A and B are shown apart, each in its own frame.
Chain A
Amino acid sequence: MTDDNNFPGDAGMPHLDEMTCLLYIERQLDRARAQEISAHTQDCAACRTLLRALERESRLLTRAMLEEEEALPARLAHFEERARRSMQWIWTVAFGLAATGVYALYTGYVEPWQQQLEQAGFGGSNLLSLLIFQGAFWKGWQSMVTLLEILALVTVGGFALAVLRKRVRRGSALALVLAGFCITLLLQPVAARASEMRKGESVGVAADETIKGDVFLFGDRVHIEGTVDGDVFLFGHNTSVAGHVKGDVIAFAQILEVNGQVDGNVRAFTNTLTVRGTVGKNVLTFDDLVNLESSGKIGGSLTLFVENLNLEGMLGRDLLMFGKHLTLSGKIDGAIKMKGDLLTINSSAQVGGPIHFEGNNPPDVSPQAKLASPVDYQKIRRRPRYMEGHYYVWQVIWLAAFVLFGLVLFQLMPSFAGEAVADAERYGASFGLGVLVLFAVPIAALIACITVVGLFVGLTTFFVWYAALYFAQVIVGAVVGQWLMGRTRELWPLIGRMAVGLVIVRLATVIPDLGGWVKLGVILWGLGAISLALYNRFQPTLSASSPGPYTPPLPPNTTVGGIQPA
């Protein structure tokens, strides 16, 4: 904008443009320019009139906005009292439910599993650690159980601080959580030993070779004939361990044959596992077929999720099996716990501990078999779950757990939770994005896991995604609650609505036949809403420090923000 655009005024000078006039009356010009304008308006009637009109317009605007004294609405007048009251009952309900949920979850679920697993030779572990962490690639994952426990404690601590001490700002609480996370990470034992990686169509460790440290082997055919003084990670089609592994063997393969000696544990995710050699500690496996041949020996326990198990060799401790068919001809020093279809105990079998079999068919036990006690058989009952009383108890427990989960998340991330709830009302976008995230994220996480470098990222993504499946239900609960009780943007009333809405959502998801579809819909909807909120969060917005929109040039000699004209 330049004065060239202006028209000649009364004094032979160009008229002032409106922008300059506005900046003048708003006192945004520097003294020199303001004096220039002032002098000009002494002589130019048109510009003087324009200045006066703009000033009057400013006054009219201010008057129009201030004039109408709209009374404070009644619901605002009692805001504080209402907030305090609503908080009280929500606190009572939420903590009552939460305490019940935590207690019931521990005593009814975690503790029995722990006991079972301890009996099966996994002392000190829980199911989660057994399935995920102990079976994962990295030894340090075992320590992640402790990390999770510490994280949980720190989160609860931060939550309590944020709630109980108003002076502690939310940022501080979150900082505590993050600090706890960082400290715990720092305290974690890192993969102490160096690791080696080998790739190829046919890779392995030669018979005369000794590897100090862990080794990662990728190939179509992977054979270990030498010695590995560390852990072995196998990724391949046809794999075997004929040599000596002093650590653990973790395998993802079509076929795994253990013909040599493994001093540690074997964790196998394979189609067929055959043990002809010796495993010093425990074996955990997800397979189609497992053969523990007559020459095979497992010093610890054997835990399987398997179709068929032929056990002809020796097992030093307990057998825990979830599968179809167990054929036992060998020797087990510990107990047997099996849930499956069929149990066959041949004449050569020896079992030192009790045998509990929950199945569809009575066990076929040879009279010549040497058993410490008769088989305790329990037929699997096929009653609909909802016909049983404890089903409803569990539903209440789950509801309480959901409310607790939602409460913690809403308290820790009130702004984000509010945004996600608001975004959930963009139904089409939520569902569409929900479908995408539900399927795409785990695939992406899996791909990330394949590369060893992206393992942490992949697993973290997977856990976040998994947690989001639950958070999604909380978000939808909040939306349903708002439908019933009206909209709110306050935290505690929103939590109250979330609790009420969750009751409705959980009820809908347990309807026979239909409930599963409802649950899927709820997860898609909520997951999409969370993703939308995340997207909006990270969407770039205009800020003062950003390049910002185009700024037109101001008239020469104009300095916005200048001092008031004399």
Chain B
Amino acid sequence: MSAPGKSEPSEAIARARTGDADAWGVLYREYAPAIFRFCRRALPTREDAEDATMDIFAKLMRDNRILQYDQSRSFSAWLYKVAANHCWDLLRRRKTRQDKETEDVENVPLEHPDPNQLDRLIEQKTSEEVRCALDKLGTRARMALVMRYYSDMSYDEIADALGVRRAFVGVVLLRARHELRQALGQGGALAAGGTS
């Protein structure tokens, strides 16, 4: 994906909108690695991520869905949105979605967790451990975290992709963090919201 500040290949985008296969090649080379990593984070297996990446680009090319892209906005953000929709749709169809959030949403923790304990946990854990823990999360929780902290999607975009109300996105993210802390092995007290 284009690095921050790096300009997007607007010429290739414009040509791709006319169905130019070479332009699609340019876009694919530019964006496929990032989309693959996004899918890799969002989907359970590497094979799923590979298939999803190909599907996303294949559909974009075949259906010319790039015409739906608003050129005044960031192309990479739009592409992430397409990828997020695709991945979530895939997960939803597989019936692997875990609707914990919708089941016990009333138990959204409001308490004040122990900040020092949380601090220590963050201090101790490596990126690799976090990645392993992410793999253990429910699909919605993982999807929400990936959309927010990998592709920097807005709350509106996350709400749209997950099919939830915008006001619910914060709750989804907070619960996802709690799940993550539990998966990291220290969650008991933190996720339950121990106080100092």
Contact = CB atoms under 8 A, between A and B. Distances in A.
Contacts of B173: 22, 26
B92 to A, nearest CB: 7
A83 B58 contact: yes
Given A53-B122, A489-B58, A543-B163, 5 more contacts: A18-B112, A70-B40, A414-B62, A489-B55, A552-B108
A19 B166 contact: no
Interface of A: 1-2, 5-7, 15-19, 22-23, 26, 28, 46-47, 49-50, 52-54, 56-58, 60-73, 75-76, 79-80, 83-84, 165-171, 414, 419, 422, 487-491, 536, 541-544, 546, 548-552, 554, 560-561
B113 A490 contact: no
A548 to B, nearest CB: 5
Interface of B: 18-19, 21, 24-25, 28, 32-33, 36-37, 40-41, 46, 50-51, 53-55, 57-58, 61-65, 67, 92-93, 101-102, 105-106, 108-113, 115-116, 118-119, 122, 125, 127-128, 130-131, 134, 145-146, 149-150, 155-156, 159-160, 162-171, 173-174, 177, 180, 193, 195-196
A167 B63 CA distance: 8
A444 B128 CA distance: 58
B110 A22 contact: no
Contacts of B64: 166-169
B149 A19 contact: no
A7 B150 contact: no
Given A58-B149, A548-B165, A80 B24 contact: yes
B101 A57 contact: no
A18 B194 CA distance: 11
Contacts of A64: 127-128, 130-131, 134
Given A26-B170, A167-B18, A167-B64, A49 B116 contact: yes
Nearest to A548: B165
A392 B167 CA distance: 65
Given A548-B165, A549-B168, A1 B108 contact: yes
Given A79-B28, A550-B102, A17 B110 contact: yes
A544 B118 contact: no
Contact of A549 (B50, B54, B101, B131): B101
A66 B174 CA distance: 20
B93 A419 contact: yes
Contacts of A69: 37
